[in-house]
Structure 1
Amino acid sequence: MDDKDGRREGRQRAKADFRFDDARLCFAFAGTLADRGTDTPFERLARPQDLGRWSVESGCTTVAPSCAETDLDRARRLREAIQRTGRALADETAPAPEDIALINSAAAEPASVPELSADAATVRRHGNGVAGVLSMVARDLIELCGSEHRTRVRICGNPACGTPFVDTSRAGARRWCSMKTCGALAKKRTYRARSQSGA
């Protein structure tokens, strides 16, 4: 069983595990390519099955859709368009027209449909396969761009990360995509540096 952060119960989170903590859906999707600022980025969508797993763990659908290599390629292209558009928002520059066209094309597909159980206790999402999942991701970015939060998009302060995030802090001074990952890593480095200088 997974927790809400996509981590198997009873074990530490692995590099291949998806990250959803503190992230909008569209930027959690951008984060499926980790370590962007390094010479060796880590691909979390390495196989079509990984895309199916992300679809379920993100809450976009209840049952993993069937995924082919062509679906994986389409998902990665959308992911990179979202990444570049997120960076453009953070830099307050115009995004590339081809990225906007790709995002709009994905959003035009029918989204995964929510269905309430008879006792109104649970919600299932189903239908439209990978295209429906990618539509939800693209629509989330479009919704962000149409909101007041578009001016709050930042790029993670961890040079190895590079994932966009929305700074919803009151002071607008958040630096990390997540305090559970990059923020915690920065704190550890600061602590070690102080300990070494003190020694």
Structure 2
Amino acid sequence: MISQRIRTTLLAVLAAGLLAMTSSALAQTISITARMVAGGVNDLQVQWLQDFVIPEFEARNPGVTVNLIEFGGSDEGLKEQYALDLSVGAGADVLGFDGFWIPEFVEGGMLMPLDQVGGAVVDEWEGWDAIPIGLQELTMFEGERYGIALGTDYRMIHVRSDLLEAAGLDASGWQPSSWDELLDAARALKEANPNSYPLQINAGTAMGEATTMQGYFMLLLGTG
């Protein structure tokens, strides 16, 4: 059964900026959770929140206390925890989300659009001007906003120039434009060093989300 206390997911903890527009003057506590641990995974984000975002937000909103709930497990474990919490009306107020989770949670009745929670002030927020449209769309589903994107990333081919040169390839000018060129280079590397693994693509259940988003999906995009 879907809980009546459906929370809005503000994608990534940068959502503190939006919360500042809707917080009341009454004493209250806001909780934030995401996959981050001081001294561990995403340590720099913990520092950013604790040293800048949270103190700045609390200073601008007297009576409001922000608690950071650190999660050190896997992405899959975090997603499962969110689903369990939200299905019974529990969980933190601000959740660090992977954008591609949003449709599943929306269709499961566990997320509401931001403007249904914060009102018209959400679309009037001046911060949207600083976020590229493409990045905003990562947190949207069927035309509705469900979060604020902290950022995104991109995929690159990383190589070792010394190994390319040892395989007879021009490292300074090597710029593959097709899978054939990439595979030809991998074969040359393998021939030069039979014990090597010239091409690594994330795969298998042990890699979790990386298999889908950084393995299979990259192959799908690269081959059309």
Structure with bigger gyration radius: 2
TM-score after normalising by structure 2? 0.26
- Higher RCO (C-alpha under 8 Å, 6+ residues apart): 2
TM-score after normalising by structure 1? 0.29
